[in-house]
């Protein structure tokens, strides 16, 4: 098969070339640094390592253009010219090298080809390797993120005690930048913000699960195909609306509405309330529940539905007793996805529920969530080793464990169900 032979040559020449490129890009900055350092005037080097590093880094960013190297006024015109030339040759040399390698490999691969050469199987091997590398990249990235979280969290706990963070009920992460400022210590009790997250998530799920599930049941079981074809995309648009839009909808319309309704009932409601954020978030999450549930319920084999109907079950009995149980693993999955979406949502909460870390279960009061706190901790100027900044990593790690636990819970539930039903 000639196309396999062609594919084999392309893969076996381009693949090493791409690997070479990746390696090169990762050491590119280092090479540039070496070139630049050799051009720095002695007077600058005498100023110390810090100054040198600074100059190298700004030169590195401007090395592509002779004019901008000159405009930095670090180097004399001669050495700037020389640097630019060096850089140019380095680039050209690299390009030539890449082309040479690729051509050489293509030549080698081409030489291998003959009538008896099994290109098809060799292509299969190469593709297998490519897929393996891609999956490894995904796994390694995950581990990298977790490790960096853990690393920073450990640094955080060297400054704030573990029990204070996990069991403290007072959250006020403002630390003093100058000595003697008010609130200099900061307190990092994370309980209020986790209960806040829990409260808002619970409210949004109370909205999203019934609405999403029931509309999924309608769309997958009752609606005519034509209705379904229009309804489903419209419902999915909900997921495409930017969360900022939901946020100001929650803050400007829903919040004040809840407040005035509450007041007319004689309740004290703050304009920023967990209820407002939860309600709007619930609406936003509906398509996550409905779309997936709809898919899994449509995927339940027709034969099961027919079997139940033929036994004299009504449509709703069939849905309740056959289709819903058969689709439950998928539905549980959809709900869990929605929950993790709710936990991760930030913008709506910032705008509608506020920043106050109140420890309360009252949906009418202002609360804050983990993600919102992470944002506020990292916005603005701060040092990278202050407990305030590091607290964000600790919060992130705990959040990660919570979602992990949720996923495991879901898997266990689904497996238990499967044992019973399949």
Partner 1 sequence: MVDGTENDIKPNGNYSSDNNLLIDCKNVDVFYGDKQALYNVSLGINEKEVTSLIGPSGCGKSTFLRCLNRMNDVIDSCSISGNIKINGEDIYNPHIDVVELRSRIGMVFQKPNPFPKSVFDNVAYGPRLHGKITDKDEMHHKVEASLVRAGLWDEIKDRLNEPGTSLSGGQQQRLCIARAIAVDPEIILMDEPCSALDPIATAKIEELIDELKTNYTIVIVTHSMQQAARVSQRTAFFHLGNLIEVGDTENIFRSPENEQTEAYVTGRYG
Q: Residue 106 class from Cβ within 10 Å (0-12 exposed, 13-18 middle, 19+ buried)?
A: middle
- The reply to whether 6 sits near partner 1 by the rule CB under 8 A is no
Closest approach, Cβ 297 to partner 1, in A, equals 14
Nearer to partner 1, 179 or 419 (CB): 419
What φ, ψ does residue 268 adopt, rounded to 5°?
-90, 120
Closest approach, Cβ 417 to partner 1, in A, equals 10
How many Cβ atoms from other residues are within 10 Å of residue 142's Cβ?
A: 10
CA pair distance 180, 258, nearest whole angstrom = 42
Nearer to partner 1, 255 or 330 (CB): 330
CA pair distance 251, 259, nearest whole angstrom = 11
Closest approach, Cβ 315 to partner 1, in A, equals 9
Closest approach, Cβ 319 to partner 1, in A, equals 13
Closest approach, Cβ 304 to partner 1, in A, equals 6
Query: Which residues from 352-411 bind partner 1, rule CB under 8 A?
Result: none
Stretch that binds partner 1, among 89-97, 278-286, 317-325, 340-348 (CB under 8 A): 317-325
Rg (CA), the chain: 30
Nearer to partner 1, 407 or 413 (CB): 413
9 forms bridges with which residues in the sheet?
none
How many Cα atoms occupy the beta-carbon half-sphere of 310 within 13 Å? 6
Closest CA to 352 of 288, 419, 258, 265: 258
Stretch that binds partner 1, among 179-187, 199-207, 250-258, 321-329 (CB under 8 A): 321-329
Residue-wise burial string across 388-421, b where 16 or more C-beta atoms lie within 10 A, e elsewhere? bbbbbbbbbbbbeebeeeeeeebeeebeeeeeee
Size of the site for partner 1 (CB under 8 A): 23
Nearer to partner 1, 266 or 312 (CB): 312
Question: For partner 1, what does the binding mask look like between residues 296 and 315, x meaning CB under 8 A?
Answer: -----x-xxxxxxxxxxxx-
Nearer to partner 1, 239 or 328 (CB): 328
The interaxial angle of helices 370-378 and 324-344, nearest 10 deg, is 30
Closest approach, Cβ 320 to partner 1, in A, equals 10
- The reply to whether 317 sits near partner 1 by the rule CB under 8 A is yes
Among 69, 322, 395, 410, the residue binding partner 1 under the rule CB under 8 A is 322
CA pair distance 6, 110, nearest whole angstrom = 9
How many Cβ atoms from other residues are within 10 Å of residue 280's Cβ?
A: 30
Among 48, 180, 225, 266, the residue binding partner 1 under the rule CB under 8 A is 225
Query: Which residues from 123-182 bind partner 1, rule CB under 8 A?
Result: none
Nearer to partner 1, 14 or 223 (CB): 223
Q: What share of the chain is helix, strand, coil (3-state, %, to 5)?
A: 80, 0, 20
- The reply to whether 415 sits near partner 1 by the rule CB under 8 A is no
Q: Summarize as ranges the residues that interact with partner 1 (CB under 8 A).
A: 224-225, 301, 303-314, 317, 321-322, 325-326, 420-422
């Amino acid at each position: 098969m000639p196309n396999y032979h062609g594919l084999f040559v392309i893969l076996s020449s381009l693949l090493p070339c791409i690997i070479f490129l990746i390696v090169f890009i990762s050491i590119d900055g280092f090479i540039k640094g070496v070139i630049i350092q050799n051009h720095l005037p002695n007077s600058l080097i005498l100023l110390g390592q810090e100054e040198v590093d600074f100059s190298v880094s700004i030169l590195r960013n401007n090395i592509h253009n002779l004019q901008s190297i000159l405009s930095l006024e670090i180097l004399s015109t001669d050495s700037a010219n020389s640097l630019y030339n060096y850089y140019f040759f380095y680039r050209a040399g690299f390009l030539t090298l890449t082309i040479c390698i690729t051509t050489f490999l293509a030549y080698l691969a081409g030489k291998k080809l003959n009538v008896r050469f099994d290109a098809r199987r060799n292509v299969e091997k190469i593709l297998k390797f490519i897929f393996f590398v891609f999956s490894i990249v995904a796994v390694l990235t995950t581990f990298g993120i977790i490790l960096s979280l853990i690393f920073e969290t450990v640094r955080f706990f060297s400054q704030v005690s573990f029990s204070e963070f996990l069991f403290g009920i007072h959250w006020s992460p403002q630390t003093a930048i100058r000595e003697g400022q008010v609130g200099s210590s900061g307190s990092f009790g994370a309980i209020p913000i986790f209960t806040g997250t829990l409260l808002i998530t619970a409210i949004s799920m109370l909205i999203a699960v019934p609405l999403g599930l029931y509309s999924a049941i309608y769309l997958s079981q009752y609606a005519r195909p034509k209705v379904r074809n229009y309804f489903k995309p419209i419902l999915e648009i909900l997921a495409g609306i930017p969360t900022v839009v939901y946020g100001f909808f929650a803050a400007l319309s829903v919040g004040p509405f809840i407040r005035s309704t509450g007041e007319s009932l004689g309740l004290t409601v703050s304009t920023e309330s967990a209820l407002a954020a939860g309600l709007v978030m619930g609406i936003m999450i509906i398509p996550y529940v409905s779309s997936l549930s709809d898919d899994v319920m449509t995927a339940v084999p027709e034969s099961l539905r027919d079997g139940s109907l033929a036994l004299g079950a009504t449509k709703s009995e069939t849905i309740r007793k056959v289709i819903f149980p058969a689709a439950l693993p998928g539905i549980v999955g959809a709900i869990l996805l929605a929950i993790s979406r709710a936990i991760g949502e930030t913008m709506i909460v910032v705008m509608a529920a506020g920043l106050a870390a109140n420890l309360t279960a009252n949906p009418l009061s202002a609360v804050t969530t983990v993600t919102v706190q992470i944002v506020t901790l990292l916005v603005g100027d701060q040092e990278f080793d202050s407990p305030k900044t590091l607290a964000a990593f600790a919060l992130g790690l705990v959040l990660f464990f919570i979602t992990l636990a949720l996923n495991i819970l879901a898997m266990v539930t689904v497996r238990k169900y499967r044992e019973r039903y399949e």
